[in-house]
Amino acid sequence: MQTARRKGHTARFIFGVLAGCSFACALATFVLAWPRHSQSRGAELRPAAQYTLKLNRDISPATAGTIIAESDGLFTRAGLEVHVVAGSGDADAFAAVAADEHTIGIASAAAFLKARSEGLAIVAFAGCYAASPVEFFALPDTKLLLPSDLEGKRIGYMRGPELSAVLYEFVSKNSLAQSKLLPIESDDPLQDLLNRKIDVLLGNLDVEGQELARRNIEYKTLSPASYGVHAAAAVYFVQEQALGNRRSLEKLIIATAQGWNAAYADYDRTIPIIANSIDPPLSRPLIARLMDAQRGYLRPYAARFGELDERRIRSLQSQLLRRRVLQRPVDLNLAVNYDILKEAYRSGAKNLTRDEP
């Protein structure tokens, strides 16, 4: 009997040791595997690419697609992190992109061509608008119905190649007498219009038009597009080195298009988000009015978001060369990348090929 008890005790002891060893091995395996598992999950959660979107102006309803894409997590789902930063002109955007290959800039097509011609290694890969939002603005008591109404009037516009290019083409296509026009470059043409220093302002619907609306000032417009001037609109651009991560740029275009679709789908939801994101602040009814106004520029009927019209860019370069704004031609095959948009259209067709937002 005593021998049997010793054997039973020994068996229980051995079983306990084996069980303890098994538990210790399992625990060690779990502990060793956990850091790798955590690192794997962390890698999945970290954005694949981080970008700063440097604007050439204030954050406004013209940036609504990006605002909603960020708010709705569309960039995050695409493996991106996008931070929008306001700017103070095309030169500001060029400087930001030149300093960081993870910065995407927005600038007028004319200013982009000029910067590239002067040696800045930048590449355009998408358009902000499918059509240019440039308009002629006048106060209600100024006659502005036809192109000929510009003759004899003082026409003010912001310094730089964008607006002067539109004016030059408008005069040429509508056979206006240049001797009867009074163009005036200005640092603040909007204030010049309000102070009656000029009669007509050539500017952007999403800049000068927005400010006039914000101040509740009535105005009338004349559209260059209605009289044969289809100017190239502002472009997205990056450093040449940034093209090494083309897939991320494609995802950014698709997510931004999704943001625009969402922005227009439900104003009750999206207008408050936009209102809380822009500066200077605008009333919600005014934001809705501006959103409606820019539909025709953002994506005209049957156009696709982000389109770059090669003919317009080539025509713009020819004009800038004739006027000696460019001292030498730009190799557009290197300066403009159309493949990113083509691939985005192919993989994100549902979001990019609707008739309108």
The dihedrals phi and psi of 80, each to the nearest 5 degrees, come to -125, 155
Written as one letter, the residue type at 18 is L
Q: What average pLDDT score do residues 276-295 get? A: 93
Question: How confident is residue 299, by pLDDT bands cut at 50, 70 and 90?
Answer: confident
C-alpha separations of 36 from 30, 32, 45, 104, 142 in Å: 10, 8, 14, 34, 71
Q: Look over the chain and give the mean of its residue pLDDT values, rounded to a whole number.
A: 86
Candidate from 135-139, 232-236, 261-265, 306-310 with smallest mean pLDDT: 306-310
138, pLDDT greater than 50: yes
Contact 207, 90 (CB under 8 A): no
SS3 call for 129: coil
pLDDT at residue 145 in the model: 96
pLDDT at residue 12 in the model: 45
Q: Name residue 153's beta-bridge partners.
A: none
Where are the extended beta strands (E) located within 5-119? 49-54, 80-85, 103-107
Most confident of 66-70, 276-280, 308-312, 349-353: 66-70
DSSP 244: G
Contact 301, 353 (CB under 8 A): no
pLDDT at residue 35 in the model: 42
Percent of the chain with pLDDT over 70: 83
Percent of the chain with pLDDT over 90: 76
Q: Name residue 122's beta-bridge partners.
A: 239
Candidate from 9-23, 71-85, 195-209 with smallest mean pLDDT: 9-23
Rounded distance, CA 354 to CA 142, Å?
Answer: 38
- pTM (2 d.p.): 0.83
349, pLDDT greater than 70: no
pLDDT at residue 355 in the model: 42
189, pLDDT greater than 50: yes
pLDDT at residue 353 in the model: 52
Q: What average pLDDT score do residues 91-103 get? A: 97
237, pLDDT greater than 80: yes
**Burial code of 234-265, b = ≥16 C-beta within 10 A, e = fewer?**
bbbbbbeebeebeebbbbbbbbbbbbbbbbbe
Question: How confident is residue 300, by pLDDT bands cut at 50, 70 and 90?
Answer: low
pLDDT at residue 279 in the model: 86
pLDDT at residue 2 in the model: 43
Starting at the edge strand found earlier in the chain, the sheet holding 200-204 runs: 182-186, 154-158, 200-204, 134-138, 220-222
pLDDT at residue 231 in the model: 93
Q: What average pLDDT score do residues 73-98 get? A: 96
Number of other residues whose CB lies within 10 A of the CB of residue 195:
9
C-alpha separations of 254 from 74, 109, 305, 309 in Å: 9, 21, 9, 18
pLDDT at residue 131 in the model: 86
351, pLDDT greater than 90: no
Which tokens go with 121? 């290694």
pLDDT at residue 39 in the model: 41
SS3 call for 249: helix
209, pLDDT greater than 60: yes
Q: How many CA atoms lie within 13 A of 212 on its CB side?
A: 25
